[in-house]
Structure 1
Amino acid sequence: MVFRALVTHKDASGNVASAIEEMRETSLPEGDVLVGVEWAGFNYKDGLVLTGQGGLVRDYPHVGGVDFAGRVIESRDGRYHPGQAVILTGWRVGEIHWGGFATRARVKGDWLVPLPRKLSTRDAMVLGTAGLTAMLAVNRLKAEGVKPGDGDILVTGAGGGVGSIATHLLGRLGYKVYAMTGRPELAEPLMRLGAAEVVGRDVLEGTGKKLVSPRWASAVDTVGGAPLGELLKQIKPGGAVAAIGLAAGDSWNATVIPFILRGITLAGIDSVMQPIAARVGAWERLTSLFSSKVYEEMTQEARLEDLPRLAGDILAGQVRGKVVVKLAA
């Protein structure tokens, strides 16, 4: 069987380039389940893979795509049967294992999650890794005791996939969300998603102080770097920050002062290696909280051919919301 894929190659000089190719199923990596991919997501990691940054790919040629949804074609795993709709996110698929930028993918059954009945495969990828991560962050804040009446919640990088979905989920749960973005044109869409107010990046400008007046009850941080260091100084006593991304860098100048004087919590969110029970629980909760209709204006459809161009855009923070890639005819 021949299928289409966006294949990334690296030449002897280290240059990386991607192009559409026709391949045979025999070229796919080992796995228990063969999936006909209908939709894939396009994420920050995918931008890194397609541009050869971040050291995520070990071997070339490579097929990227860190998440996808589709239907089982063949299965040696008793949990899955032909025709069943499934989702894959994480497990370093699209990085060290071929991913969803193809009309066929072969993966381990342990990496899959059955598609909840209320979601289409397109809806699943509108959410995708970003939606799963946002839901895990919201669940973690709840586990830390953060309640809607505790005060304002800041979501950084709210114009991106994780940030915009986190804004929507928190708003649906009754939290007063302040959506931080450097793109003023996204203010109205973010308000429609559930933000109480949209603020600029200046709310986390460096002060040089070890502690400042408390402002936020808690936060979901998608950018990392120096803004996260400033954010920690502004969290109210007993508050928590769910940390997800590193678009602004992976380090910052910090002290223990906010932790020992205000008792705050910095909680890291890993969606890549989450166990199956946590994944299934998060997906089921997403089906009741997420409104694909409300989020549609933050959704952009693309083709495989568009992804090399979009890679630079997503790394530069120029992609709003979520990009979904249509694979099925």
Structure 2
Amino acid sequence: MTSTVSVLPQQRATRLPGLGDAIFGFLAWGFALLVLVLLTGVIVSLVWGSLPALRTYGFDFLISTRWNPVTEKFGALPAIYGTLVTSVIAMVIAIPVSFGISIFLTELCPPMLKRPIGTAIELLAAVPSIIFGIWGLFVLSPIMQTIVQPFLISTIGQVPVIGLLFSGAPYGIGILTAGMILSIMVLPYMVSITRDVFETVPAQVRESAYGLGATTWEVVWRVILPYSRVGVIGAFMLSLGRALGETMAVTFVVGNTAKIATSILAPGTTISAALANEFAEASDELHLASLLGLGLILFILTFAVIGTARLLLLRLNKQFGGH
């Protein structure tokens, strides 16, 4: 009898951890499946809501440049063009700037300044997007109109072929201004992630490279970047996803004109800006379906970016052996 009583606590001690693991595994699977269910629900709702527009216009919805709610002629190409071009401009500006800031913070910055500068950059991410939009409209746009755009028109705008991108009147607002606002907005995300990735490089690896006589640039190019390439590319792709979907700040400064212009100084529109401007007023079924079609396109673009990033990372890991 005594032996039976003494064994029971041991049996409970061995069974309870197994039960806890089972519950934890069940919850983990449930949460993972919940994400898939929500994602599927979003896709289904967007496809279902955009069916009237897709049935009416077909493939022409993607390539048409007409967007006129009065005549019920809707084409997504101007919004797709504006979304892609503003995001590319943002990446062209933000990538080298964020790379330089990250290298400065990890390799060159005095220790006493690392924390204040890093905190200031991270606080920039806490600024609401509408504040960026207001600042862009009342501060950046006048500077672009009176200084930057006239300079670009009088210099690069006079160069054959490439000058077409910088031709026209200096409106202040437009595709270029929206791209610059986006570059400022994605900068803190890009810097924070890139800096953290650079700091994962072991100190022994850095010191060994410097001990062999390598310069700072050689250490960055030959040691830090190869070691942290996956994280750096992930930071860029995450920032690109933020740029593709940004709404309010872009709406303030992009011009909201559903046209495709050769010049990046001209006003334009993006998918998110079109949704923000017209969704509340879309009483017609075809108009609402066209807006939901724009949302579906943005959803697909975001997934395409993520998929491309994943394939690129897999190729890099296979090429360099991966970390």
With the length of structure 1 as denominator, give the TM-score of the two structures. 0.23
With the length of structure 2 as denominator, give the TM-score of the two structures. 0.23
Higher strand share: 1
Of structures 1 and 2, the one with the larger relative CO (CA 8 A, separation 6+) is 2
Higher helix share: 2
